[in-house]
Amino acid sequence: MDKELKKFLNNVQKELNKNIEGVNIENLKKAVEIILESEKKGGRVHVTGIGKPGHVAGYIASLLSSTGTSAYELHGTEAVHGSSGQVKPGDVVIAISNSGETEELKPTVKTILANGACLISCTGNAESWLAKHSEVCLLARVDKEGDGLNKPPRASVLSEILLLQCLSVMLQNKKKLNLNQYVQWHPGGSLGKSIKEMQRK
């Protein structure tokens, strides 16, 4: 195996294991409670980020929606140009930023807070601006991204996804999602087909 690739894979394994071992269950429970309380009052979930975390936001919004929690991607910069209109008072916004200091994200956070939303952060820095402005912080901390440059987001993105997948699992379990419900939201593709075949047996 290529030497640099092996170093990258070893680093990813180390960083993900560290996040798995250090996951803060209480903070995840608090995030679940915030979302469930919001939903009881008709609130919805929005997920946002800048750059690579913005792409993570799209995936997480889709994952949550497909497992029983209505969620929408909120564009990280368009929010201050009108898109924050999709966020109503009492809604929940999950904001993703490795540093927690992303300048382009700060105006969006200030806007949604001013509009009465509740903020959950997913960041690698528990002492960051973003973490301090949130109701609860889901910490996805990494020491090294994994490649020779140690700059392109790699391990940090995987850690953010991991923590937010944990959140999705806990919400799914709280809602007692079953295959019959799941296939209603995901009837197409190989996944939908496999569930329908299971149901026929």
| Domain covering 3-200: architecture | 3-Layer(aba) Sandwich (3.40)
Burial of 89 (0-12, 13-18, 19+ CB in 10 A): exposed
Question: What is the pLDDT at residue 200?
Answer: 65
Calpha distance 194→69 (Å, rounded)? 22
Length of the chain: 201
Per-residue pLDDT of the chain (201 residues), as tens digits, is 799 999 999 999 999 999 999 999 999 999 999 999 999 999 999 999 999 999 999 999 999 999 999 999 999 999 999 999 999 999 999 999 999 999 999 999 999 999 999 999 999 999 999 999 999 999 999 999 998 899 999 999 999 999 999 999 999 999 988 887 777 776 776 766 666 666 666
Q: What is the pLDDT of residue 186?
A: 67
Nearest C-alpha neighbor of 123 from the set 160, 90, 152? 160
Domain range summary for the chain, segments of one domain joined by + = 3-200
Strands 45-49 and 92-97: parallel
- 3-class DSSP assignment, residue 122: strand
Predicted confidence at residue 94, as pLDDT, reads 98
